[in-house]
Amino acid sequence: MNRGRLVGIAAITVTSVLWGTTGTAATFAPGAGPLAIGSAALGIGGLLQAVIAVPALRAERTALCAQRWIVIIGAGAVAVAIYPLAFYSSMHSAGVAVGSVVSLASAPLASGILERVVDRRPLSRWWMLAAALGAIGSTLLCVAKIEDQTGSAFDTVLGIALGLVAGITYATYSWASHRLMSGGISRGASMGAVFGGGGLLLIPVLVLTGASLLDSGQNIAVTAYMALVPMFFGYLLFGYGLTKVSASTATTVTLTEPAIATVLAVLIVGERLTALGWAGLVVIAGVLVILALAPTNAGPISDAAEISRRRSPESAARADKAQTEGGKPAVDA
Instruction: Report the C-alpha gap between 7 and 18 in whole angstroms.
Output: 17
pLDDT tens digits along 17-37: 998 888 788 878 888 888 999
The DSSP line for 35-91 is: HHHHHHHHHHHHHHHHHHTHHHHHHTHHHHHHTHIIIIISSHHHHHHHHHHHHHHHH
Categorise residue 185: left if φ over 0, alpha if ψ from -120 to 50, beta otherwise. Answer: beta
Instruction: Report the C-alpha gap between 97 and 133 in whole angstroms.
Output: 18
pLDDT < 50 positions in the chain: 296-313, 315-316, 319-333
The DSSP line for 5-30 is: HHHHHHHHHHHHHHHTTHHHHHTT-T
Give the closest residue to 192 by CA, choosing from 155, 236, 226, 224. Answer: 236
Which pTM does this prediction carry?
0.77
Contact 233, 49 (CB under 8 A): no
The CA dihedral of 249, 135, 191, 34, to the nearest 10 degrees, is -170
Categorise residue 312: left if φ over 0, alpha if ψ from -120 to 50, beta otherwise. Answer: beta
Three-state SS annotation for 143-164: HHHHCCCCCCHHHHHHHHHHHH
pLDDT tens digits along 248-260: 788 878 878 877 8
Instruction: Report the C-alpha gap between 215 and 232 in whole angstroms.
Output: 23
Per-state percent for the chain, helix, strand, coil, to nearest 5: 80, 0, 20
Angle between helices 256-264 and 125-146 (to 10 degrees): 30
Instruction: Report the C-alpha gap between 138 and 132 in whole angstroms.
Output: 10
